[in-house]
Amino acid sequence: MHPKSFYFYLLLLCIGSTELSAQLGFCGGNSGDPIFTEDFGSGTTNGPALPAGTTTYNFTNGTPNDGDYTISSTTNFLDWINIQDHTPDDTYGKSFIINASFTAGKFYQREVTGLCENTSYEFSSWLINLLPTINCPLDPEIPVNVRFQIWDETDTNLLAQGDTGDLFASENTNWQQYALVFKTEPGQTSVILKMINNRGGGCGNDLAIDDIVFKSCGDNVTVSTNTNETSLVICDDQGGVSRTLTATPDFSIFSTHAYQWQQSTDQQVWTDIANETTSTLSTPAITTTSYFRVKIAEDPINVNKDLCNVVSDVFDIIVLPIPNTPLSSGDITICEGEVGILSASTESSYTVNWFDAPTDGNLLLEANNNFETSIAGTYYAAANSPEIECASLSRTAITLTVN
């Protein structure tokens, strides 16, 4: 082989390797709240057209021909599938409907701002091939095949890309979600999303896109004690209980970790715990139900930015109040040979245990409001938690008399 031909062959091989390396994939860890969403609105009239510079295709209020697009709540054009948009609980929700141009190439581009520097993100979008069947007597079917790309704000550095692969017409087709994971660079707070049609127009390649979303992406993080407890239930009479909690990231996304522990009493409002910024936390003495979690980011500059971090699993410390003494349904008198049913009630979150003594004694029946016996005597009902030993301070005496 001539040396120039050999180098040309290597160049082709490298280009082919780059194409093959383009991979779609979802965040392998925890995703944050959506930072950017595009659901294309709702309504019964088509449009409006996308902002200038978003697409090179032509907007139409009617049926999209090759190289046209529309924004519509219906896909009932030509011989396409008539399907609702993807957005859940969307009344007359719209989607971005494309009839591919005869020339393959970019058909969508927009800048996404408000990102955090040095942070991993998941881009995702839903896509559907609108053709139920294909009838191409002269030409082979042209499948849908879209490439998603994420570029830096200068439009010179490609951060991630991936192809859907060929999606052929099918009567059972439905919305499919595709995703890319990428990482912003230091000082970078915006990216450019591009969608490229890898196939040309003609017989096939008609599609719709909906629900474009950007979310932060980070490790799955578990919180446990050194004895592998992932939650704790205690009784109020145990006094203040504390634990040393350890956050364990799975390193699926982050290579380094910055931490900020938080505490809550209702899992709705979370408060940062001052100076607790390592992977471990020694809780204060807990006397009322409390919840703990940790915010995590790869860069310390982002750990306190809610659109840039992720949060761990929640460690619950549930403090059960001591139950009240059960209420008696009254003493019972029966005739010899009959069976008496003694009854007591307690709060719905507790159960009733029966004993043969006012303190200590033998447990006769567990977790039942009714105790059946034909033996005369006084029996004692105590309220208790079904989860742990957390009993009422006294027992209710109920007497069975046999005549």
pLDDT digits (tens, 9 = 90+) for 316-341: 999 999 999 999 999 999 999 999 99
The pLDDT of residue 137: 67
Question: What pTM does this model have?
Answer: 0.68
Q: Is the pLDDT of residue 123 over 60?
A: yes
The pLDDT of residue 177: 96
Q: Is the pLDDT of residue 21 over 50?
A: no
> Quick one: average pLDDT of 141-155?
94
pLDDT digits (tens, 9 = 90+) for 247-270: 999 998 898 999 999 999 999 999
- Percent of the chain clearing pLDDT 90 (strictly above): 74
> Quick one: average pLDDT of 282-290?
94
The Cα–Cα gap between 385 and 350 comes to 5
Q: Is the pLDDT of residue 1 over 50?
A: no
Which amino acid type is present at position 83? Answer: I
pLDDT digits (tens, 9 = 90+) for 270-279: 999 999 999 9
Compute the C-alpha angle 124/126/130, nearest 5°: 155
Q: Is the pLDDT of residue 293 over 90?
A: yes
SS3 labels along the chain: CCHHHHHHHHHHHHHHHHHHHCCCCCCCCEEEEEEEEECCCECCCCCCCCCCCCCCCEECCCCCCCCEEEEECCCCCCCCCCCCCCCCCCCCECEEEEECCCCCEEEEEEEECCCCCCCEEEEEEEEEECCCCCCCCCCCCECECEEEEEEECCCCCEEEEEECCCECCCCCCCCEEEEEEEECCCCCCCEEEEEEECCCCCCECEEEEEEEEEEEEECCEEEECCCCCCEEEEEHHHCCECCEEEEEECCCCCCCCEEEEEEECCCCCCEECCCCCCCEEECCCECCCEEEEEEEECCHHHCCCCCCCEECCCEEEEEECCCCCCEECCCEEECCCCCEEEEEECCCCCEEEEECCCCCCCEEECCCCEEEECCCEEEEEEEECCCCCCCCCCCEEEEEEEC
Q: Is the pLDDT of residue 392 over 90?
A: yes
Residue, of 373 and 117, whose pLDDT is higher: 373
The Cα–Cα gap between 307 and 390 comes to 42
The pLDDT of residue 324: 95
pLDDT digits (tens, 9 = 90+) for 334-369: 999 999 999 999 998 899 999 999 999 999 999 999
Q: Is the pLDDT of residue 9 over 50?
A: no
Pairing status of strand 377-384 against strand 231-235: unpaired
Buried b (16+ CB within 10 A) or exposed e, 160-178: bbbbbeebebeeebebeeb
- Percent of the chain clearing pLDDT 70 (strictly above): 94
Q: Is the pLDDT of residue 246 over 60?
A: yes
- List the strands of the sheet with 327-328, edge to edge: 327-328, 340-345, 370-373
Q: What is the mean pLDDT of the chain?
A: 90
The Cα–Cα gap between 237 and 354 comes to 21
The pLDDT of residue 22: 47
CB 209 within 8 A of CB 112: no
> Quick one: average pLDDT of 127-155?
88
Which domains occur in the chain, in start order?
A: 20-218 (2.60.120.260), 221-320 (2.60.40.10), 327-402 (2.60.40.10)
CB 188 within 8 A of CB 116: no
Tokens of 86: 């993807």
